[in-house]
């Protein structure tokens, strides 16, 4: 049985996670609302998220453009719980990965993995929380036989090295 979603079916996505509220390096519990899912989106129950040094730079506002509170994390792996009616790459129960996205949706719809305003909704938040809604083309299918904890960091570090070598 398919668990397809449409924009009208899912109005608000309540989530909880860990956020920095100021540049003091402390993450604390945070309840918030994620953007609603669209017909091209998948909903992911986050099972693992790597910790990248970039997350620390952002949480401490060492890049000079942070809007607090910030939920860091851009090495995300989880189970697909719902798929939009236009989704073809994933099915419910698949394992999906989402890495750092800082220019994938080239203007005017450029949306970063976290701490970026969506044009039609709330800001994006990273992977240090329980649920993620993302367009299917920004996610990759993760083989079931891989360790979730070992796979999450590959969504950043491995891509960084590959990009330099090609």
| 163, pLDDT greater than 90 | no
Pairwise pLDDT comparison (51 vs 48), residue with the higher score: 48
Give, rounded to a whole angstrom, the gap between the first and last alpha carbons of the chain: 42
Domain ranges of the chain: 4-165
pLDDT above 90: residue 124 = no
| 32 bridge partner residues | 15
Q: How confident is the model at residue 96 (pLDDT cuts 50, 70, 90)?
A: very high
Check residues 104 and 116 and name the one with the higher pLDDT: 116
CA–CA gap between residue 57 and residue 120 (Å, rounded): 27
Lowest mean pLDDT among 34-43, 117-126, 150-159: 117-126
Alpha carbons 43 and 69: distance in angstroms, whole number: 23
In this prediction the pTM is 0.76
Would you place residue 11 in the very low, low, confident or very high pLDDT band (cuts 50, 70, 90)? low
Q: What is the model's pLDDT at position 1?
A: 37
Give the pLDDT confidence score for residue 31 in this predicted structure. 92
Whether 148 shows a pLDDT value over 60: the answer reads yes
pLDDT at 107 over 80: no
pLDDT attached to residue 6: 39
b/e code 30-62 from CB counts within 10 Å (16+ = b): bebebbbbbebbbbbebebbbebebbeebbeee
Q: What is the mean pLDDT of residues 150-155?
A: 83
- pLDDT, tens digit (0-9, with 9 covering 90-100), for 59-71: 888 877 788 888 8
pLDDT at 134 over 80: yes
Summarize the confidence of residues 21-28 as an average pLDDT.
82
Whether the pLDDT of residue 4 is over 70: the answer is no
The CATH number of domain 4-165, selected from 3.90.180.10, 3.40.50.620, 3.30.479.10, 1.10.10.10: 3.90.180.10
């Amino acid at each position: 049985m398919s668990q397809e979603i449409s924009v009208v079916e899912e109005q608000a996505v309540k989530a909880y996670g860990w956020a920095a509220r100021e540049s003091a390096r402390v993450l604390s519990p945070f309840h918030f609302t994620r953007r609603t899912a669209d017909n091209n989106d998948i909903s992911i129950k986050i099972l693992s998220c790597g910790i990248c040094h970039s997350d620390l730079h952002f949480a401490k506002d060492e890049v000079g453009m942070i809007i607090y509170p910030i939920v860091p994390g851009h090495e995300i792996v989880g189970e697909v719980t719902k798929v939009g009616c236009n989704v073809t790459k994933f099915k419910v129960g698949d394992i999906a990965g989402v890495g750092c996205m800082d220019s994938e949706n080239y203007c005017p719809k450029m949306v970063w993995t976290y701490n970026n305003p969506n044009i039609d909704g709330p800001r994006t938040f990273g992977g240090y929380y329980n649920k993620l809604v993302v367009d299917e083309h920004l996610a990759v299918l993760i083989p079931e036989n891989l360790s979730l904890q070992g796979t999450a960091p590959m969504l950043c570090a491995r891509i960084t090295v590959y990009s330099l070598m090609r």
